[in-house]
Amino acid sequence: MSEIQYLEGKQPDPREHRMIFRNVDRVGWNPSIDRYLEDGGYEQLRKAMDMDPQVITDEVKKSGLRGRGGAGFPTGVKWGFIPPKNTKPVYLICNADESEPGTFKDRYILHQDPHQLIEGMVITCLAVGAHVAYIYIREEFPEAAKTLETAIAEAKGKNFVGKGVLGSDFDVEIHVHRGAAAYICGEETGLIESLEGKRPYPRIKPPYFPAALGLYMCPTIVNNVESLCHVKHIIGMGGDEYAKLGTPRNTGTRILCVSGDVKKPGYFEVEVGKVTMRELLYDMCGGPKDGREFKAVIPGGSSAKILRCDETFTLKGQGPDGTDKELSFWDIPMDFDSLAACGSMAGSGGVIVMDDSRKMSWVLNNINQFYAHESCGQCTPCREGSTWMRKITDRIVAGKASPRDIDILESVAHQIDGKTICAFGEACSWPVEAIIAKYRDELVADTKPENAEAALNPEAEAQRRYLQKA
Amino acid sequence: MSEAVLKELVASPETPGTKHFPPFKPTDELEAEATRRLAQFPDDHKRSAVLPILHHIQHHHGFISAEAIQWTADRLGIEPIKVAEVVTFYPGFRQSAPGKFHIRVCRTLSCAMGGSYELMDRLCEITGIDRSSLDPHHHPIAVSPCGTWSVEFAECLASCGTAPVCLVNDDFHEGVDADKSRQLLDQYAKA
Ligand SMILES: Cc1cc2nc3c(=O)[nH]c(=O)nc-3n(C[C@H](O)[C@H](O)[C@H](O)COP(=O)(O)O)c2cc1C
Ligand code: SF4
Ligand code: FES
């Protein structure tokens, strides 16, 4: 690893463990297949070709890999859900919709290292018995879609993809399919509907679990870009070896994307659970901007519940001998289970940071606008509720709300949460519930016109001018 | 009644940008793209090719017209309404012409914190676009009087670490503070 050089100003932090992002910003790197092969590319596929499909799945199970798309579901277990007596075709879909606000990791894999993804996908196809795979990529990545098309053509040219992969009798085709700027296409069943050429209305689960009834009602495995890349490395080092990275139940590496009010925003690939919030935000991101203090952090994409930087959490039964353990915000390890225990989630790895110049009513309003715009409209609580929540926070920001509005806002959120077809319902109500739970006084204070008038920063001012034109 | 509703649903009002885009006409290239895309799906699921075909049309004609909807439906052997419902749902499809250069500014949280609303204000100021009468909640497109520019707010473009960001046609730009608006536009004005 020591010989790898990175571009000036883009050197990884010493605490990083670059595996998936090994080639991102690398000097002398390019997305061509020749460069990838020079670096030992497609060796893991060769290895997997000699393995029994069940053994590949078992290795992935042993690795403990959990999905990097948001839900953190164990990847190998998901693959095992394909009905054993299935006679229909099996499909693999790579979820490259990357649209959860705060998340920016798949972008760099897709643009800079497409063959890593393709190799991971072909290995996954071997494991699950898929002969056709689709990469569903968001429309706003036009360059990446071209890069992928080129890479797939190159891989076909060298027989890593196509008929009789590497001289075997295994056929696999990969197609790139562009979305059309709708967030809900990231939800796996919405994505499947979209791929079928329809509006991306999510399907209800049960019965429509994609592994059993997915694309064209056939078994379909949907995995995130980053998850599929990990598969290649698991085959390379073996499931047990991979599981030594990170912490128990939270294995491997993952890419954390930090944005907002820090000195040095960016992406950091770390062993899961091996860095704390303090190390991430102070040591790796350079701390708050000059003269500012950290106020709040959304740790896993905008749907994740917000955490206050001055909070302390009580983790039930996690101390020595099953006692409760106290954990301050700054000591939270960045892993799935710890963030869940603190009432939020690791989600998609998007860490959004706010300092003391931000008003929570403004932050919430921005988030509410996103969800009101992106609700697919199928379920009444979500369609109407997301718009009501936006309208209420519009009013707060415009200085036209009353303290009672905060209660109404909270009650609307509770009427969405858990009552919808897909998890967008939670995604749009959790930010509201969490911000009210943690910043109620500030929100109530903001309902006084003179407080809402006193904007703290020019960005909020610009957005408010914009809203007042409405 | 339904006929009138349908007509309105697929209507494409003229904009100052219309002059930059050739009206829809099936070409050999479009036919080839449709054939290539259809081959990627099972024969009994031709409808899956609707998004790629519409992307190709929008790329060349700027938006999706009633004629384009009809052609696509015929090509896929489905009812025109099944194409229309796709066009009207996805924010990525337009039903009237944008400017020659279409700018999509990210308005989501990290970019808003980084100043994307100011960027939008400045771009509008320079290009003479008036967004004040638009409903701010549906991200409508606004075209400049000269037809060269159009703007639209986009939701998180997955580059929050380099906020504020925007797309100009297919080109991605990062770290575009409002102060860099003029510079950004100049790159294209000369083209
Ligand atoms: C509203 C919503 C949006 C989502 N957006 C994305 C997305 O942009 N990218 C993604 O990989 N997963 C997204 N997901 C998660 C997917 O539904 C799915 O769980 C994931 O792609 C599975 O891959 P994984 O197991 O590898 O994580 C979203 C889920 C919901 C409910
Ligand atoms: S919860 Fe919202 S986004 Fe999900 S299906 Fe219902 S209306 Fe659509
Ligand atoms: S918020 Fe603008 S790119 Fe994510």
- Give residue-wise pLDDT tens across range B116-167: 999 999 999 999 999 887 877 777 899 999 999 999 999 999 999 999 999 9
B49 and B120 belong to one structural domain:
no
Q: Which atom of ligand 2 is nearest to the CA of A377?
A: 7
pLDDT band, residue B92 (cuts 50/70/90): very high
Closest CA to B35 of B76, B86, B77: B76
pLDDT in tens, A137-151: 999 999 999 999 999
DSSP A274: S
CATH number where A46 lies: 3.40.50.11540
**Pairing assessment for the beta strands B101-106 and B149-154 based on DSSP bridges:** parallel
Adjacent-strand bridge partners of A94:
A135, A223
* Boundary-marking domain end, from A197, A220, A244: A244
Cβ neighbours of B42 in A, within 8 Å: 216
Establish if A16 belongs to a structural domain: no
B112 and B75 belong to one structural domain:
no
The pLDDT value given to residue B9:
86
Q: Do B109 and A350 touch (CB under 8 A)?
A: no
Cβ neighbours of A200 in B, within 8 Å: 89
A332 and A447 belong to one structural domain:
no
B125 and B158 belong to one structural domain:
yes
Establish if B94 belongs to a structural domain: no
B85 and B105 belong to one structural domain:
no
The pLDDT value given to residue A318:
79
C-alpha count within 13 angstroms, C-beta hemisphere, residue B42 = 15
**Position A418 pLDDT exceeds 50:** yes
The tokens for B63 are 């938006």
pLDDT band, residue A16 (cuts 50/70/90): very high
> Which of A90, A356, A369 would you mutate first to test chain B, the one with the most B CBs within 10 A?
A369
B85 and B144 belong to one structural domain:
no
Q: Which atom of ligand 2 is nearest to the CA of A416?
A: 1
B129 and B73 belong to one structural domain:
no
B50 and B72 belong to one structural domain:
yes
Cβ neighbours of B159 in A, within 8 Å: 104, 107
Q: Do A100 and B156 touch (CB under 8 A)?
A: yes
Query: Which residue ranges have their beta carbon within 6 Å of ligand 3?
Result: A 101; B 106, 108-111, 156-160, 163, 165
B112 and B64 belong to one structural domain:
no
User: Cα separation of A132 and A163, whole Å?
Assistant: 11
User: Cα separation of B165 and B177, whole Å?
Assistant: 8
Q: Assess contact for A98 and A104: CB atoms under 8 A.
A: yes
Residue A34 CA to ligand 1 centre (angstroms): 32
* Boundary-marking domain end, from A206, A221, A244: A244
Q: What is the mean pLDDT of residues A103-118?
A: 98
Establish if B55 belongs to a structural domain: yes
Establish if A394 belongs to a structural domain: yes
Q: Do B90 and A373 touch (CB under 8 A)?
A: no
B177 and B145 belong to one structural domain:
yes
- Kindly report the protein residue whose alpha carbon is nearest to atom 4 of ligand 2: A422
Establish if B121 belongs to a structural domain: yes
User: Cα separation of A445 and A423, whole Å?
Assistant: 31
- Kindly report the protein residue whose alpha carbon is nearest to atom 6 of ligand 2: A379
**Position B106 pLDDT exceeds 70:** yes
B119 and B183 belong to one structural domain:
yes
DSSP A276: B
Cβ neighbours of B156 in A, within 8 Å: 99-103, 302, 370
**Pairing assessment for the beta strands A307-308 and A220-224 based on DSSP bridges:** unpaired
CATH number where A427 lies: 1.20.1440.230
CA distance A455 to chain B (A): 13
State the DSSP H helix or E strand holding residue A246, giving kind and residue range, or none if neither.
Answer: strand A246-247
**Position A450 pLDDT exceeds 80:** no
B82 and B7 belong to one structural domain:
yes
Adjacent-strand bridge partners of A175:
A134
A340 and A373 belong to one structural domain:
no
A94 and A208 belong to one structural domain:
yes
**Position A466 pLDDT exceeds 90:** no
Percent of chain B residues past pLDDT 70, beyond the cut: 98
User: How many separate domains does chain A show?
Assistant: 3
**Position A1 pLDDT exceeds 60:** no
Domain of residue B163: give its range.
101-189
Q: What is the mean pLDDT of residues A83-101?
A: 97
Cβ neighbours of B158 in A, within 8 Å: 98-99, 103-104, 106-107, 138, 140-141
A171 and A264 belong to one structural domain:
no
Residue A374 CA to ligand 2 centre (angstroms): 9
Establish if B32 belongs to a structural domain: yes
A174 and A130 belong to one structural domain:
yes
CB atoms under 10 Å from CB of A434, counted, come to: 21
**Position A170 pLDDT exceeds 50:** yes
Beta-carbon contacts of residue B85 (< 8 Å; ≥ 6 apart):
A198, A199
CA distance A248 to chain B (A): 30
A208 and A98 belong to one structural domain:
yes
Least confident of A85-89, A109-113, A465-469: A465-469
Cβ neighbours of A173 in B, within 8 Å: 40
Q: Do A199 and B117 touch (CB under 8 A)?
A: no
Average pLDDT value for chain A: 95
Average pLDDT value for chain B: 94
Establish if A451 belongs to a structural domain: yes
CATH number where B123 lies: 3.40.30.10
User: Cα dist. B6→A404, B54, B66, B85 in Å?
Assistant: 43, 19, 10, 10
The pLDDT value given to residue B137:
73
Report helix, strand or coil for A250: strand
A162 and A217 belong to one structural domain:
yes
pLDDT in tens, B6-43: 788 888 999 999 999 999 999 999 999 999 999 999 99
Q: Do B158 and A258 touch (CB under 8 A)?
A: no
Residue A344 CA to ligand 3 centre (angstroms): 21
Cβ neighbours of B73 in A, within 8 Å: none
DSSP A394: H
CATH number where B81 lies: 1.10.10
Q: What is the mean pLDDT of residues A446-451?
A: 78
CB of A422 closer than 6 angstroms to any ligand 2 atom: yes
User: Cα dist. A336→A249, A254, A273, A352, A366 in Å?
Assistant: 9, 11, 8, 17, 26
A138 and A214 belong to one structural domain:
yes
Which amino acid appears at position A413 of this protein? A
Q: What is the mean pLDDT of residues A371-383?
A: 97
CB of A202 closer than 6 angstroms to any ligand 2 atom: yes
A285 and A237 belong to one structural domain:
no
What is the DSSP annotation of B12-53?
A: ----TTGGGSPPP---HHHHHHHHHHHTTS-GGGGGGGHHHH
The pLDDT value given to residue B139:
79
User: Cα separation of B99 and B97, whole Å?
Assistant: 7
User: Cα separation of B18 and B26, whole Å?
Assistant: 18
In whole angstroms, how large is the CA radius of gyration of chain A? 23
User: Cα separation of A74 and A230, whole Å?
Assistant: 12
In A350-415, which ranges are E strands?
350-355
The closest CB to that of A142, out of B51, B112, B170, belongs to B170
User: How many separate domains does chain B show?
Assistant: 2
**Position A3 pLDDT exceeds 90:** no
CA distance A241 to chain B (A): 32
B85 and B29 belong to one structural domain:
yes
Q: Which atom of ligand 2 is nearest to the CA of A381?
A: 7
The pLDDT value given to residue B5:
77
Establish if B166 belongs to a structural domain: yes
**Pairing assessment for the beta strands A307-308 and A294-298 based on DSSP bridges:** antiparallel
Q: Do A194 and B45 touch (CB under 8 A)?
A: no
CATH number where A276 lies: 3.10.20.600
pLDDT in tens, A247-299: 999 999 999 999 999 999 999 999 999 999 999 999 999 999 999 999 999 99
Query: Closest ligand to A203 CA?
Result: 2
A289 and A256 belong to one structural domain:
yes
Which amino acid appears at position B82 of this protein? K
The pLDDT value given to residue A456:
62
- Kindly report the protein residue whose alpha carbon is nearest to atom 8 of ligand 2: A376
A110 and A191 belong to one structural domain:
yes
Q: Render the burial of B39-70: b for 16+ CB within 10 Å, e for the rest.
A: ebbeeeebbbbbbbbbbbbbebbbbbbbbbbe
Q: Do B45 and A354 touch (CB under 8 A)?
A: no
Establish if A10 belongs to a structural domain: no
* Boundary-marking domain end, from B56, B89, B122: B89
Domain of residue A266: give its range.
249-355
DSSP A425: H
**Position A370 pLDDT exceeds 80:** yes
**Position B70 pLDDT exceeds 80:** yes
pLDDT band, residue A470 (cuts 50/70/90): very low
Establish if B95 belongs to a structural domain: no
User: Cα dist. A217→A174, A196, A207, A214 in Å?
Assistant: 19, 10, 11, 5
Query: Closest ligand to A367 CA?
Result: 3
* Boundary-marking domain end, from A213, A244, A275: A244
Q: What is the mean pLDDT of residues B64-85?
A: 96
Establish if A176 belongs to a structural domain: yes
* Boundary-marking domain end, from B41, B56, B89: B89
**Position A182 pLDDT exceeds 70:** yes
The model carries a pTM of 0.96
Q: At residue A158, what are phi and psi to the nearest 5 degrees?
A: -100, 10
HEC secondary structure over A182-224? CHHHHCHHHHHHHHCCCCCCCCCCCCCCCCCCCHHHCCEEEEE
Establish if A240 belongs to a structural domain: yes
Q: Which atom of ligand 3 is nearest to the CA of B157?
A: 3
Q: How are strands ordered across the β-sheet holding B149-154?
A: B142-143, B149-154, B101-106, B166-168, B171-173
CA distance A324 to chain B (A): 35
Residue B145 gets the label, from left (phi > 0), alpha (psi -120 to 50) or beta, of: alpha
Q: Assess contact for B83 and B90: CB atoms under 8 A.
A: no
The pLDDT value given to residue A12:
97
Q: What is the mean pLDDT of residues A168-196?
A: 98
Residue A115 gets the label, from left (phi > 0), alpha (psi -120 to 50) or beta, of: alpha
Q: What is the mean pLDDT of residues A165-179?
A: 98
The pLDDT value given to residue A469:
53
A276 and A383 belong to one structural domain:
no
* Boundary-marking domain end, from B89, B111, B126: B89
pLDDT in tens, A30-69: 999 999 999 999 999 999 999 999 999 999 999 999 999 9
Q: Do B104 and A140 touch (CB under 8 A)?
A: yes
HEC secondary structure over A144-166? HHHHHHHHHHHHHHCCCCECCHH
Residue A187 CA to ligand 1 centre (angstroms): 5
